Amino acid sequence: MKQVRILLLGAGESGKSTFLKQMRIIHNLGFDPDTVRDFQHVIYLNCIQGMRVLVDAQRKLGIPWENPQNSLHGDILLNYHPGFVDQWTFTKYVPSIRACWSDEAIRKAFSKRSLFQISDSVEYFFENMDRITHKDWIPTYNDIIHARRATKGIYELMIPINRVPFHFIDVGGQRSQRAKWLQCFDSITSILFLVASSEFDQVLLEDRTTNRLEESRTIFDAIVNNRIFLKVSMILFLNKSDLLRAKLARGIKIADHFPSYTGDNSLESVQAFILNSFTSLRRHDKSALYYHFTTAIDTENIRIVFNAVKSTILKQNLANLMLE
């Protein structure tokens, strides 16, 4: 059977790279020692930059320190200049990160995180500081899944599944990276389009005015109605279901950002609304459109969902071969 080419598309931070990390884990490819070491430095950087963002937000929002002495720790973090972070450098910032995270002012700033740009994973790392700061710490799969760095350029991964080569192509989702998408459109079997469903109350990193969910809808509209893809199956992942559930539980209402929404604030109603806001964009029904609600950081969730996706793609691939 010919190879399956799956193109991963979606806005920045929708979970495309996380999904590919899960593919490596689920199919027992793992990560080589150099890659693990790279992620160690990425995680150190995520911790420092994450707390820097929170201190900056705490000050801009005018939230007073619970312990005024922590203002000095905040200064130390704000004076950090981004760059490569080794273990020795990270160790210098650990006391300040710990002090700030234990201060109620930073927790209050964190509760208002939809107002500014911060990675979803910082809480996970701050809650695991005892482990991460140990001198013999080696990132676990879960640590690597939570590590965040923007995809620049094109990343490809080939995995043989059921004796069929699955060729995954991940392209950066930020606006500056989208010009590279066109060169990946050749002989695609399926498009896996990821949406961060929890980002209904957040704006883009790139322009600070466009709603992130609206940006995803705009991109999806352009892809799903493109004549090039009339015979390509579309698989829609409404991702970050865990964060959406938590956000709704905190009383954040989607109707405040999407006035056309008239349902209650339950996860099921909100997911149905978000799903319809994407599927209703399609102006034809010439190709299949599948959807799944996903949590890309949850390996078991992705294992189950990908089994369904794989079966769909292999059946379709076989049908296409029989038509040729």
Q: How far is CA 133 from the centre of its chain?
A: 25
Query: Is 174 annotated to bind ligand?
Result: yes
Query: Is 140 annotated to bind ligand?
Result: no
Residue 134's contacts (CB-CB under 8 Å, 6 or more residues apart) are: none
Query: Is 271 annotated to bind ligand?
Result: no
Query: Is 38 annotated to bind ligand?
Result: no
Can you tell me whether residue 165 is helix, strand or coil? Answer: strand
Query: Is 202 annotated to bind ligand?
Result: no
Compute and round to an integer the Cα radius of gyration of the chain: 21
Query: Is 170 annotated to bind ligand?
Result: yes
Residue showing tokens 């939230």: 63
Query: Is 190 annotated to bind ligand?
Result: no
Query: Is 176 annotated to bind ligand?
Result: no
Q: Is the dihedral of CA 259, 274, 154, 138 positive or negative?
A: positive
Query: Is 211 annotated to bind ligand?
Result: no
The b/e string for 269-298 (b: 16+ C-beta within 10 A; e otherwise) is: ebbebbbebbeeeeeeeebeeebbbbbbbb
User: Which residues are part of the catalytic machinery?
Assistant: 13, 18, 148, 170, 174
| Binding-site residues from annotation for Mg(2+) | 17, 151
| Binding-site residues from annotation for GTP | 13-18, 120-121, 170-174, 239-242, 296
| Binding-site residues from annotation | 13-18, 120-121, 151, 170-174, 239-242, 296
